[in-house]
């Protein structure tokens, strides 16, 4: 007799990934674009929208191309990045919260965050979580900037490795190559995450394999969201740092994945758009029947796991 492993959709939730280009190094215009996407997703019935890594107000891709001895150019770009960064809370977060409340949609936003607790001159690569009631739920600061990114972002702390209760379930996540860190992933799983968000700059086959693995390993829905960025989106001073003829700096490849590792929306390639998918949280329970990394497979009698949550 054939068996059907698919869970009957008793109650589904629509979620979204906003694969959009920022208005490069322009916070005000990027926020307006984000708000329009939030309103659109809400009107289309989505209860959650996820934005790319450092969407406000750009991913500083120049760190991979401009030599470190070009201090004047790097200083000018860094000053602009800080001037267009976000303090949590501030007028920018207030606008995002208002849009979330207006449409009753949960928002996950990637942004450059100022270290407002001290100098306001250093930056964190941050995910901001906003509930459908327009209240800030919390934030996650990227633990470990990758390679040249260390010239831009400071290191986050363990106290932001959390999940948040929302109207669509528990939401948590990591940023880009943090997702390669097994212990960081385990912390997010242990937090009870059901919808795992992965704002990222990475894309392509290898990255898709990573997030599909995470979905299966964690028994979670994964929303991988990367911005598109075309050469024409850049200011003139940055266009010449790329190989002549290169059009797409980032092609996006955003997608939504179910707990069995199947891509159920996307990947969206080389164009802007909002991806939608219907999800059913019962699929998580079904997946964890066989493998629950922080449940019956955790073996606390063999392994010890802890997170330092002190600043």
Sign of CA dihedral 297, 298, 300, 302: positive
Strand partners, 19: 273
Round to whole Å and give the CA distance between 86 and 78.
14
Sign of CA dihedral 49, 199, 33, 108: positive
53 is catalytic: yes
Within 10 Å of residue 108's Cβ, how many Cβ atoms? 27
- Please tell me which residue in 27, 47, 162, 176 is annotated as part of the active site: 176
176 is catalytic: yes
Rg (CA), the chain: 19
Name the residue among 271, 225, 274, 275 with its Cα closest to residue 248: 271
- Please tell me which residue in 27, 53, 97, 114 is annotated as part of the active site: 53
The C-alpha torsion from 90 through 91 and 94 to 96, rounded to 10°, is -110
Q: Give one DSSP letter per residue of 106-157, joined into a string.
A: EEEEEEEEE-TTTTS-SEEEEEEEE-TTS-EEEEEE-SS--GGGGGTB----
Which residue matches tokens 């066989």? Answer: 290
- Please tell me which residue in 142, 162, 170, 288 is annotated as part of the active site: 142
Q: Residue 257's Cα: distance from chain center in Å?
A: 14
* Alpha carbon distances (Å) from 287 to 118, 269, 291: 44, 29, 7
Name the residue among 114, 13, 103, 107 with its Cα closest to residue 51: 107
Residues catalogued as catalytic: 53, 142, 176
């Amino acid at each position: 007799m054939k068996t059907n492993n698919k869970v009957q959709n008793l109650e589904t939730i629509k979620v979204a990934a906003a694969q959009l280009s920022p208005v490069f190094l322009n916070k005000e215009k990027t926020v307006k674009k984000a708000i329009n996407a939030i309103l659109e997703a809400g009107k289309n019935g989505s209860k959650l929208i996820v934005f790319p890594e450092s969407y406000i107000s750009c991913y500083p891709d120049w760190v991979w191309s401009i030599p470190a001895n070009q201090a004047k150019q790097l200083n000018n770009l860094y000053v602009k990045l800080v001037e267009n960064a976000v303090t949590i809370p501030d007028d920018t977060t207030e606008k995002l919260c208002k849009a979330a409340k207006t449409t009753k949609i949960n928002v996950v936003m990637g942004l450059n965050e100022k270290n407002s607790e001290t100098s306001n001159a250093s930056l964190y690569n941050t995910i901001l979580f906003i509930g459908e009631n327009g209240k800030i739920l919390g934030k996650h600061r990227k633990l470990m900037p990758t390679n040249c990114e260390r010239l831009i972002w400071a290191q986050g702390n363990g106290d932001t490795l959390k999940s948040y209760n929302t109207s669509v379930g528990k939401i948590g996540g990591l940023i880009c190559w943090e997702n390669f860190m097994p212990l960081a992933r385990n912390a997010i799983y242990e937090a009870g995450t059901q919808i795992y968000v992965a704002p990222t700059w990475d894309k392509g086959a290898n990255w898709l394999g990573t997030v599909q693995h995470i979905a299966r390993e964690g028994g979670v829905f994964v929303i991988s969201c990367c911005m598109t960025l075309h050469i024409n989106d850049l200011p003139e001073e940055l266009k010449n740092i790329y190989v002549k003829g290169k059009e797409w700096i980032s092609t996006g490849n955003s997608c939504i994945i179910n707990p069995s590792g199947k891509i159920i929306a996307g990947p969206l390639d080389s164009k802007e758009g909002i991806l939608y998918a219907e999800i059913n949280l019962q699929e998580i329970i079904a997946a964890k029947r066989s493998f629950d990394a922080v449940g019956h497979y955790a073996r606390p009698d063999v392994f010890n796991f802890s997170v330092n949550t002190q600043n």
